[in-house]
Each structure stands twice: as structure tokens, then as C-alpha cells.
Structure 1
Amino acid sequence: MEILIIIVAGIMIGASVYLMLSKSLIRIIIGTGILSHGILLMLLTMGGLKRGGIPVLDDSVQQYSDPLPQAMLLTVIVITFALTAYMLVIAIRVYRELGTDNVEELKGVPREDD
């Protein structure tokens, strides 16, 4: 099961890199979101997909679950939400001011037909 999740996370990270290398700001933002989901899967898999007791000291539990991966996942989710919201606000502002979401037009790179 872990191998399957690692493969899915790799595909998601590869797709996100492809989207982030495009010229559209919206595709870059979507690629960033997919990248964060791939990283979440990788963190979850690194924590191990094993069963165990609750992470509370008790004499009846022999094997404990590690609470650190879940804490890291929650932190990544909050940071990703804030980053995505910020990038969307910036993209909307850029589109309203300049009328384009093409990154090359934002940099002032001359086109081939000019």
C-alpha cells in the first residue's frame, strides 16, 4: 500500500512541476496546490501506514501511533491554504491592473510577432 501512495505522490509532484512551469498564473497556482497535496501524501507515507494505539501513556497499549506526522500534516494544510489565498488575491489584482495572466507579458518580454 505504501508503494502505491508513493507512486501517486510522485505523479502528483510531477504534474505540479509541469503546471508551475507554464505561462499562466492560474496554472501556477493550481500546480502549487497539487504540489502541496503530493507533499502531504509523502509526509503521511513517511510516518508509516501502521496501526497502533493512541499516543497516550497507558499500560494496556503495547504499540503506539506516532502523532508527529498528523501534526505536520495539519501545519502543512494551514500554510497551504494561506499561501493559496494570498496567491489568488495577487493574481486577481494583477489581472485587474494589467489585463493578463501571462507571466511573459508581465515581465515585459517582447513577443515573436512584434
Structure 2
Amino acid sequence: MTIVLNHTIVPVGDRMRGARLLAGLLGVEAGEPVGPFAPVRVNADLTLDFDDRFGARPGHYAFLVDDAVFDAALAFAERSGLAWGSAPRQVDRQVNHLGGGRGVYVLDPDGIAYELFTAVP
């Protein structure tokens, strides 16, 4: 059997805000709350469960995306007034080109850095 990460818990200050933010970045839907969690299914194998019971903790979640998702995520970050930049915690509003693709780090209000990067063309 192949090992697949199925879900992980993302500690945030407000579970619905956190779920909606990630869902907006990735162009997916935030699910209805299930118990203490607000789930975001990012693909067939992985769900991120946002949990606000114990407070927020900074984190880093990296997503390999295609160009269309990358462009839409960057537009969402701009429209939403989110801080973003070319390196973790660097709010320079620049896109990096590490490894030949494009990459950005989008910061949420809880200190989570969502890294979005494209594959080498």
C-alpha cells in the first residue's frame, strides 16, 4: 500500500476564517464544520481540518499547483489584502523563480505561510 497523507489539523484563531482563506487561495470549497473542525478538501487524498480550540500557531503549508491555480491564488491574495512575497515572512509582493517555476508565500492573519509554487515549465 502506498502511504498517503490523508488529513492534518491546522491550529488557527478562527476555524471558519482559516478554512475560507485556504479554500479561496486554492479555488476549492470549504466544507461544513464537522465537530470542532472546518475541513478543506484540497484533493482526493488530503483534507486540512481547521481547529480553533487551542489557539493559532504559525505554520508552513506548501502546495504544488498549476499555472491557472497559481494566478488565481495570487489574484485572491491581492483582492483579500493578504500579505505575500517571494520568501517566508518576506512581504515584498514579488514572485520567486526558484527551480525554474514561480513561487509565493501568502501569509494569513494567524501567521501561517501558504507556499504556492509551480513546476518547472
Structure with a larger share of its residues in strand: 2
Structure with bigger gyration radius:
1
Q: Fold-level match, TM-score > 0.5?
A: no
Q: TM-score range by the shorter chain?
A: under 0.3
TM-score, length basis structure 1: 0.26
Structure with a larger share of its residues in helix: 1
